[in-house]
């Protein structure tokens, strides 16, 4: 094989490999977007799994009782926001399940979409499975008072009806 033919072969092979990688990345992103989030705050097995994961991964910042860090609405000296509470006093329950899942999986910095937002909260996509993230969020929702859970369920119902 001539040097010219060999170089052409290498270029073609590299293009095929890069194309395959690009197709895989596009497919992966599509699969992530297809994950349907449905919290299960009334499932005792899911709640127990979520509780254990919350204690291991979340409680150090968000508090053992979901209370968040002190002064969670005021920036820290480093300019970042403290970990908010996930109990009724916070804003977690104001967000749809899909949003809560995405923030947990990809991190708040990725969800901000600006490329400049800094957060102390990591992305959990390489630490927790999708099902484990749902379990943690189900545990959190299980701890909300009945009235707040009902309001959250109503928001989810409206989103489902709108087809979003």
Are 51 and 111 part of one and the same domain? yes
Helices 130-142, 97-106: axis angle to 10 degrees equals: 130
Distance CA(100)–CA(105), nearest Å, equals 9
- What CATH number did the domain enclosing 108 receive? 1.10.760.10
The pLDDT, as a whole number, for residue 16 is 40
Q: Same domain for 74 and 123? A: yes
Q: Provide the residue count of the chain.
A: 164
Query: 88, 109 in Cβ contact below 8 A?
Result: no
Contact (Cβ atoms closer than 8 angstroms) between residue 155 and residue 107: no
Nearest alpha carbon to residue 87 among 155, 43, 44, 140: 140
Cα separation of the two ends of the chain = 56
Range in 20-24, 57-61, 99-103, 139-143 with the lowest mean pLDDT: 20-24
Q: Are 128 and 57 in contact (CB under 8 A)?
A: yes
Same domain for 20 and 65, yes or no, is no
- Give yes or no: residues 82 and 106 share one domain: yes
Residue 16 lies in domain: 1-34
What's the pLDDT score for residue 8?
Answer: 56
pLDDT in tens, 83-93: 999 999 999 99
Mean pLDDT in the chain? 84
For the chain, the domain total comes to: 2
Kindly state whether residues 20 and 44 are assigned to the same domain.
Answer: no
For residue range 59-85, list pLDDT tens digits in order: 999 999 999 999 999 999 998 999 999
Residues 95, 74, single domain; the answer is yes
Q: 124 and 44 in one domain?
A: yes
Confidence of residue 34 (pLDDT cuts 50, 70, 90): low
Alpha-carbon span 82 to 156, nearest angstrom: 27
CB atoms within 10 A of CB 25: 10
φ/ψ (deg, to 5) at 79: 90, -10
Global pTM? 0.77
Cα separation, 142 vs 51, in Å, equals 10
pLDDT, greater one: 1 or 102: 102
1 plus 78 within the same structural domain: no
């Amino acid at each position: 094989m001539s040097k010219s033919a060999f170089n052409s072969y290498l270029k073609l092979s590299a293009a095929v490999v890069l194309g395959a990688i690009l197709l895989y990345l596009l497919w992966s992103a599509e699969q992530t977007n297809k994950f349907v989030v449905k919290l299960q705050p009334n499932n005792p097995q899911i709640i127990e799994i979520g509780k254990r994961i919350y204690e291991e991964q979340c409680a150090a910042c968000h508090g053992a009782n979901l209370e968040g860090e002190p002064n969670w609405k005021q920036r820290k000296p480093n300019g970042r926001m403290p970990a908010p509470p996930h109990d009724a006093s916070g804003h977690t329950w104001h967000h749809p399940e899909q949003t809560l899942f995405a923030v947990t999986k990809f991190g708040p910095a990725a969800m901000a979409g600006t490329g400049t937002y800094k957060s102390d909260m990591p992305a959990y996509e390489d630490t927790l499975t999708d099902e484990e993230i749902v379990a943690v969020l189900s545990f959190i929702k299980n701890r909300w008072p009945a009235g707040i859970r009902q309001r959250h369920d109503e928001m989810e119902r409206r989103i489902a009806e709108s087809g979003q």
